[in-house]
Homo-oligomer: A and B are copies of this chain.
Amino acid sequence: MGRWEPDTRRRLAQAALELFIEQGYEATTVNQIAERAGGLTKTTFFRHFPDKREVLFAAGEQAHGRIVADAIAAAPDGATPLQAVAAALDALAAVFTEERREFSARLRAVILGNSELLERAALKRAALAEAMADALRKRDVPDLAASLSADLGTRAFYTAYDQWADTDNHEALVDLTRRTLDELRATLTTLG
């Protein structure tokens, strides 16, 4: 990948989001996205993304799966499943810096307004849980415990993310995620 490629990808994603907000997801074409990204062509768009929907998901999905898997693999030998998950959430939350909050909030609003995007978001969420569960199984965590810890971690991350992607919130995502995971852990004893 050449020197300018990561920037092209980022510009395409930014342009797509702007257009989705301005004129709606359905009304936006790949040609318009490429044009808005600085006079690029449709061909360039398709070198980076398979379609206009994936522009909102493809980049994050792979990267986030890798981040949680690496953090779980790197957790100390004696770490419990939830301690390994906590390390994964710390690593993932660190990606969402303050300067990304507004972009994330706008992205979230676009997704919430479109059933096709909501559907894709549900798959992304499932993929994140599966990446965590897989990494836990590789640490010899039994299957159900791995799945359950991953479900808990995913629930903690998205609960915190929904609070963070709100312009009235001023906490760092890593703090919100830690607190939510602690709350979920405490809640486990109340389910009956």
Contacts and interface: CB of A to CB of B under 8 A. Distances in A.
Interface in A131-161: 142, 144-145, 147-149, 151-152, 155, 159
A191 B156 CA distance: 15
A73 B118 CA distance: 27
Given A119-B123, A122-B123, A122-B126, A83 B192 contact: yes
Contacts of A155: 147-148, 151
Main secondary structure on A side of the interface with B: helix
Contacts of A44: none
Work out how many copies of this chain go into the complex.
2
Given A144-B183, A183-B144, A192 B80 contact: yes
Interface in A107-139: 118-120, 122-123, 125-126
A16 B155 CA distance: 35
Contact of A119 (B83, B120, B148): B120
Contact of A147 (B80, B83, B159): B159
B159 A152 contact: no
Interface in A65-93: 79-83
Contacts of A125: 122, 126
A151 to B, nearest CB: 5
A162 to B, nearest CB: 11
A184 interface: yes
A61 to B, nearest CB: 12
Interface of A: 79-83, 118-120, 122-123, 125-126, 142, 144-145, 147-149, 151-152, 155, 159, 180, 183-184, 187-188, 190-192
Given A144-B184, A145-B191, A148-B187, 17 more contacts: A79-B192, A80-B191, A81-B191, A81-B192, A82-B192, A119-B119, A122-B123, A123-B123, A126-B126, A142-B187, A145-B187, A145-B190, A147-B159, A148-B152, A148-B155, A151-B151, A152-B191
